[in-house]
Amino acid sequence: MSDVSLELINTEATVAGLPYGALVDALQSGFAAGCTVPVRHHHHIQKRSEPDATLLLMPAWSKAEDQDQFLGVKLVTVVPGNKARGLPGLTSTYILYDGVTGQQLALMDGNVITSRRTVATSALAARYLARDDAKSLLVIGSGRVASQIPDAYRAVRAIEKVLVWDIIPEGAEKLVRSLNDRGIVSEVVTDLEQAVGKADIISAATLATSPIITGAWVRKGTHIDLIGGFTPKMREADDATLKAARAFVDTREALREAGDLVQPIQSGVVAEEHVLGTLADLANRNVNGRTTTDEITYFKAVGSGLADLVAARMVYQQMRAERQ
């Protein structure tokens, strides 16, 4: 019998284990150090009277030379037919193992891991790319990920005002109510062009398939963060936005997966070299992030197993520390 017990860490405990300030710092160290992240596995699951489903497996493990050894896998089920059942289409579970022995350590809420590591990854990028004096944040979208954006950004910049726009206005209203209730000054915007033109930071987490952000609207000095599009057909910003900006990605996978990069590169609007570096390059200072207050910066993320592993080990280590 194993002498290592499997901890079951519920949603509340997973949230409690991932405060944004500490998570952004842990991601900074994690991206600088790197880990092994194989290409994610997609398994197609045929369904009879509803759209087909997918099982995604996202493994990652520590490098052989790392002092602390962990291995983790995120399992994600994507069931589009759940919409008709009134259930979320996506369910994630994270399993953390001891990287030396392979023994199971913890099972935790993968949905929380995903949304918190995603916005914390964007906040980390903003640490290098947003103006130091950035005060206003425009959030585009109001779903599971977008609703976490203000909290993550407040860990890296002194955000004084949050503007929220969503294609479904009720979604934006609900998010603004909950932000104001928590003392975060925020308001719904209906004129997206005007809001894009006055925000210091714009962060989008939507399912948009055509551009919502138009380059001509973006003023100098703005930082743009695109979280949503994860297939070559999805877009959140137009070609002009990318062309005008110093562009960075979370990992180079983004160049193959994200329509916001795949499409303008394929059509020759920009060359692949227009993307100046990854989050690992920024964290290791191999490349300069923002160099002037006037330039427009751009970060496109598609998500990484590295960030999942960093977050999962943080939850686990904090839980163990609390017990001692």
Ligand X SMILES: NC(=O)c1ccc[n+]([C@@H]2O[C@H](COP(=O)([O-])OP(=O)(O)OC[C@H]3O[C@@H](n4cnc5c(N)ncnc54)[C@H](O)[C@@H]3O)[C@@H](O)[C@H]2O)c1
Report the site for ligand X in 6-45 (rule: CB under 6 A).
none
CA nearest neighbour of 41 among 56, 59, 61, 60: 56
How far does Cα 249 stand from its chain's mean position? 11
**Minimum separation from the CB atom of position 307 to ligand X (A):** 7
154 binds ligand X (CB under 6 A): no
User: Measured from the CB of residue 222, what is the shortest distance to ligand X in angstroms?
Assistant: 19
Return the HEC string of 182-247: CCCCEEECCCHHHHHHHCCEEEECCCCCCCCECHHHCCCCCEEEECCCCCCCCCCECHHHHHCEEE
Q: Which of 24, 79, 124, 146 binds ligand X (CB under 6 A)?
A: 146
Of the pair 99, 229, the CB lying nearest ligand X is at 229
Complex with ligand X: residue 5 or 209, whichever CB lies closer: 209
For ligand X, the closer of residues 141 and 289 by Cβ is: 141
Region binding ligand X by CB under 6 A among candidate stretches 79-87, 124-132, 240-248, 298-306: 298-306
**Min dist. Cβ of residue 317 to ligand X (A):** 22
Work out whether 262 is an interface residue with ligand X (CB under 6 A): no
Q: Of the two residues 125 and 155, which places its CB atom closer to ligand X in the complex? A: 125
Q: What string marks each residue from 201 to 230 as x (binds ligand X by CB under 6 A) or -?
A: ----xxxxx--x--------------xx-x
Place of tokens 């960030």: 307
Q: How far is the CB of 53 from ligand X (least distance, A)?
A: 16
Q: Tokens representing 199?
A: 């925000």
Out of 14, 110, 159, 166, the only residue in the binding site for ligand X (CB under 6 A) is 166
For ligand X, the closer of residues 259 and 289 by Cβ is 259
Of 56, 167, 255, 270, the one binding ligand X by CB under 6 A: 167
> Residues interacting with ligand X, by CB under 6 A?
114, 118, 141-146, 166-168, 171, 205-209, 212, 227-228, 230, 301-303
